[in-house]
Amino acid sequence: MSFPNKIDEWIKEAEARPESAITLLRLIAGRLRELTERNEELLAENIALQNGTRVEEYQQRIAHLEYQLDLLKRHVGAGGVEVVEISAEQTKPTTTSLLVYNGQGRIFRLELIEEGQTLGRIADKMSNDQEPPRLLAVPSNDEVLLLYSSGRVSTHSVGELHGMETGADWHWEAAALPDEPRAGETLVCITPISHLPVSSYFLQVSRRGCVKKTMTSMAQNILSNHYIGKGALKKADQPLDLTLCGEGERFAFVTYEGKLLGLDVDDLSYTIEERIKLSASDYVIASLLPRPEEALIFVTQMGKILHRESEMLEPAKSSNAKGQALISVNRLGQGIRFMGAASVRENDRLAVLDDTGRINVYEAGAITGSGSIGTGELALSIGVILAPGGDPSNP
């Protein structure tokens, strides 16, 4: 029955039973309120369509879906898998680039080859009072996301970054600067995002062990606003890593003083949580997503390698956990500290930056077996180079 017909019925009811008039008036008022709210919604919708804001919103959504489709094509192409409606040109195997980047936003891109152990050398002074450069190996056709200490993000294609000659000496002023840090910012992390369409969460970890996950359904807002947040609770803290993962995975991070903390991704909060109790001198130096078929390796500043099976990782169930100690208190007292960690297979390779600026490449199985990198120099940073057939979603 339509609303006008209901009004006629209610009037007759009020005339027949005056004591029900108040109840009927409340019903009429409620219905009028609903109709008014709906009318305002339709009016706002009509205005949005007239001035183009709704059209612009739909266009942005379409553009984001097209962007994710392009990322998915890159992800499949990096794995060398044929998929319906994706051409052979898009799925052919790609080369691998090693990105070497510093806090000032400068990035060296090196095309990796199978032969040769030394990639080259950073000729500029390796300052001890600044964060050392970091290493990331990715497919050359990948898309990467740059995270800054302010929580700002930007995306760039790896192939657009200026390539450097391998086997040479490099200077930072010749490196690519795709997005110069703004006042007070530093570049803290670069992460590949071609597998964004098949991932469930962004995971963030800070220097002081704060962890936060964000659903990838928020990716359109994050990428269009160029902001994901610091993922830290304290002002003095700053982000360290941002990575993509799926449901049911394990996440871990390692600290400078050798504490290892494992976490179940499904148990993580969507709000920032401090997940480990650290001393004033300790801080997180690396995070990883270990797979069952991979081994965990931890590298000290002296180039010593600690090897653990991924099954030994015990997920912490509560916040402010102490973590698993990788070395004894006595060895800590002797000055042993950690500078990197990774989850690798035996035929993967490891790129190592030492304090002379040289970047050398080693077979993961060989250095794991020897228990040492063995260069005689101080190690500063490491990066995993996946063997052919490796999962590009777990760089």
Q: Which of 241, 248, 287 is nearest to 265 (CA)?
A: 248
- Distance (Å, whole) CA 204 – CA 214: 8
Predicted confidence (pLDDT) per residue in 346-385, tens digit: 899 999 999 999 999 999 988 888 888 876 788 999 999 9
Q: Is residue 394 part of a domain?
A: no
Q: Do 44 and 96 lie in a common domain? A: no
* Residue 63 placed within a domain: no
- One domain for residues 196 and 246: yes
For 92-118, write each residue's pLDDT tens digit: 447 899 999 999 999 999 988 766 678
For residues 50 and 44, give the distance between their C-alpha atoms in angstroms, rounded to a whole number: 10
Confirm whether 61 is domain-assigned: no
Q: Give me the domain span that covers residue 8.
A: 3-51
Q: Report yes or no on 69 lying in a domain.
A: no
Please tell me whether residues 215 and 288 are part of one structural domain: yes
What pLDDT is stored for residue 372 in this prediction? 87
**Per-residue DSSP letter, 162:** P
Domains in the chain, number: 2
Structural domain contains residue 395:
no
Q: Residue 268 pLDDT > 80, yes or no?
A: yes
- Whether 219 and 344 share a structural domain: yes
> What is the pTM for the complete model shown?
0.78
Please report whether residue 391 resides in a domain. no
User: How far is it, in rounded angstroms, from Cα 395 to Cα 393?
Assistant: 6
28 and 101 together in one domain: no
Q: Identify whether residues 95 and 47 lie together within a single domain.
A: no
Q: Decide: 263 and 284 in contact? Cβ < 8 Å.
A: no
Residue 201 domain-assigned (yes or no): yes
pLDDT at 395: 41
Identify whether residues 164 and 39 lie together within a single domain: no
In the predicted model, is pLDDT for residue 88 greater than 80?
A: no
CATH number of the domain at 291, please.
Answer: 2.120.10.90
Q: 260 has which bridge partners?
A: 254, 324
* Banded model confidence at residue 322, pLDDT cuts 50, 70, 90: confident
Q: What integer pLDDT is reported at residue 280 of this predicted model?
A: 92
Say if residue 34 is in the same domain as residue 96.
Answer: no
How far apart, in whole angstroms, are the C-alpha atoms of residue 294 and residue 384? Answer: 12
Same domain, 123 and 230: yes
Do 38 and 151 lie in one domain? The reply is no
Residue 79 counted as domain residue: no
pLDDT of 60 reads 60
Statement to judge: residues 39 and 114 lie in one domain? no
Whether residues 35 and 181 fall in one domain:
no
Tokens standing for residue 167: 């086997």
